[in-house]
Amino acid sequence: MVVAPAPSVRSASVWDVVLVVGGTALAVTIAVLVIDRVVPVSRRLPYNELSGHFFAAVGAFYAVLLAFVVVAVWEDMNAAKDNTYVEANALPGLYFSSTQFEPAQRAEFQGAAVTYARAVIADEWPRLAHGEPSPQVEDAAKRMRKALLQLDPQTPKQEALYGAMIERVNVINSARRDRLNEARPSIPGYLWFGLIIGGVLVIGIALFFGAPKPLPHALMVITLAMLVAGSLYYAHLMDHPFAGTTTVTPDAFRVALKQMGQPVE
């Protein structure tokens, strides 16, 4: 089978994380130095108690919201991974259930199951980074549905296997629809806007605390900024489960190919 080249996507690396978090730390360091010059410590110290109460309330609200988002995208990513095994596990069952039918029918099902797994790995998986389906996988799925409708079970054993094959084909199609849906980000743009603005405000409040020495103040604000930036960036990566450093891999389909006695590559 000739597989058309899929759209390329640049995966996030550890260096991207370092760049985001390190860039945030650098920007906050510059902000601390500027504020220390523009607003002297003597003018900020009298407001520390009031600022502290306000920061505690705002920080707690933002922390709860950010934790909710991180947990939600983490669960979505795990669900996407589990769903790939549900889809892939149905392929070997379909492959071996067809052995009780006529050679031509058996060859059609087995060929479609192998083609499906290979096309998912080679063509559809790279496209998932863009939330796009693969025409090759869709064609293999149509072949399975068409071949299923053409079967005419004659014996009780074939009838039992036919029912199991219907169920497995339905599982494959349903799980693939779920996988394509999971490839699209689940966090809406307006929520990202609120999270970023909220993070900027929380860090901004911390910048105006008065401290006798600038170094401890700078270290505290930099630590806070790095935690916020790192959490937001990892939430962004997990919201794209098929692209980036936290990507879900097509290992389930490689396992399915091995179970069907087919070479993985």
* CB atoms inside a 10 Å sphere around CB 150: 9
Q: How many CA atoms lie within 13 A of 120 on its CB side?
A: 32
Measured between alpha carbons, how far is 216 from 52 in angstroms, rounded to an integer? 16
Give yes or no for a contact between 90 and 144, defined as CB atoms under 8 angstroms apart. no
Measured between alpha carbons, how far is 186 from 182 in angstroms, rounded to an integer? 8
pLDDT at 143: 87
Whole-Å CA distances, 71 to 66, 96, 132, 191, 224: 9, 39, 26, 15, 20
H or E segment at 101?
none
DSSP 241: T
Question: Domain ranges in the chain?
Answer: 14-259
H or E segment at 240?
none
Q: What is the largest CA-CA distance in the chain?
A: 92
Whole-Å CA distances, 195 to 63, 154, 190: 10, 61, 9
pTM check: above 0.85: no
Which pLDDT tens digits describe the chain residue by residue (265 residues)?
Answer: 333 333 333 445 567 778 888 888 899 888 888 888 888 777 877 877 877 888 888 889 999 999 999 999 999 889 999 999 999 999 998 888 888 888 888 888 888 899 999 999 999 998 988 888 999 999 999 988 888 888 888 888 888 888 888 999 999 999 999 999 988 888 888 899 999 999 999 998 888 887 777 788 888 899 999 999 989 998 888 888 887 666 888 999 999 999 988 887 6
Q: Which of 21, 56, 27 is nearest to 209 (CA)?
A: 56
Measured between alpha carbons, how far is 183 from 176 in angstroms, rounded to an integer? 11
Q: For the chain, what's the residue count?
A: 265
